[in-house]
Amino acid sequence: MSKNNIGRGYWLITGLNTLQAGMRVLFTYIGTTDMIKEFLTTPVTEQTMMIINISFLILGLAGLISSLSLITRKKWGILSATIVSSATIIFDIWGVTIQSTASMGFIVPIVTLVYFYILRSR
């Protein structure tokens, strides 16, 4: 894909990835407060919550870096978004075992991977 041939789909994917990454960083903060009780329907141990928070922070920061690489159209942008999307899916597979609403985390990574696959096929 040339730098001049970027369509709306690319920017939509970039925006969705940026939003999801930002939300993961926000949820890292929420996970350290009593506000998390508003989101979790299943009680978790402090150790599990710490794993969730660390994972959210890592995925969120990696996602923001990846989104920045897409925004600035770095050569490695699509590869980084693919890696972050794959890691997010793996994390959310585990997350679904704790709470079914974690399945919402699959949407953006799957759409991203499908979009990049179609883009590459062209």
54-108 confidence digits (pLDDT tens):
999 999 999 999 999 999 999 999 999 999 999 999 999 999 999 988 999 999 9
What local confidence, expressed as pLDDT, does residue 64 receive?
A: 98
Helix (H, G, I), strand (E, B) or coil at 115: helix
Percent of the chain beyond pLDDT 70?
A: 96
User: What's the pTM?
Assistant: 0.88
Number of domains in the chain: 1
Domain-embedded: residue 2: no
Domain-embedded: residue 1: no
Domain-embedded: residue 3: no
Q: Which domain holds residue 71?
A: 8-121
Domain-embedded: residue 68: yes
Nearest by Cα to 6 from 65, 63, 69, 71: 71
